[in-house]
Amino acid sequence: MFCASCGNQIPDGSANCPFCGAQQAPAQPTYQQPVYQQPTYQQPPAYQQAKIPGRGFGIAGMVCGIIGLILSFFCMIGVGAIMSTYGRYLDTSGLFGEVFAYAILSILALVFGVAARNKGYRTGVAMAGIVLGVIGLALSLISVFMLIV
């Protein structure tokens, strides 16, 4: 340690400095870092459920299918509102993007649903993804047909 007054090196724990005689602060008690006991983390049941093979795919498929359906639904409402106002749909170019997004979501729903079933996750959730995917793809094709013709 070093003297607080004159700065000379003095033996650790000295009460007084041998050079200048200044009283030294009592040795700091070494602070014991409390050992943090990591609580044994009980994994919630939901996490264990996520390990069911194919469950993630099944849910992803259903979510894609539902989002696609909602997207398609709002698009139909929008088109219907414009057509009822103007008697026809003015600009169909913007609809291709929506139909394309719906088709992509439907394909994803189908792929995820099939993947879930292939992994043994044969539940209504996986089936919902497949069904929504097939419906979505069919509606997308019909929409493209109607937009082109």
List interacting residues with Zn ion (CB under 5 A): 3, 5-6, 17, 19-20, 22
10 versus 139: smaller Cβ distance to Zn ion? 10
64 burial type by CB count under 10 A (0-12 exposed, 13-18 middle, 19+ buried): buried
Token pair in block for residue 118: 């292939």
- Least Å distance, CB 3 to Zn ion, is 3
Helix locations, the chain, DSSP H: 45-49, 55-86, 93-118, 124-148
- Helices 55-86 & 124-148 angle (0-180, nearest 10): 30
Cα first-last separation, the chain: 91
- Least Å distance, CB 15 to Zn ion, is 12
- Least Å distance, CB 4 to Zn ion, is 8
20 versus 77: smaller Cβ distance to Zn ion? 20
- Least Å distance, CB 29 to Zn ion, is 23
19 versus 96: smaller Cβ distance to Zn ion? 19
20 versus 76: smaller Cβ distance to Zn ion? 20
Dist CA 25 CA 18 (whole Å)? 14
| Residue 9: strand pairing partners | 2
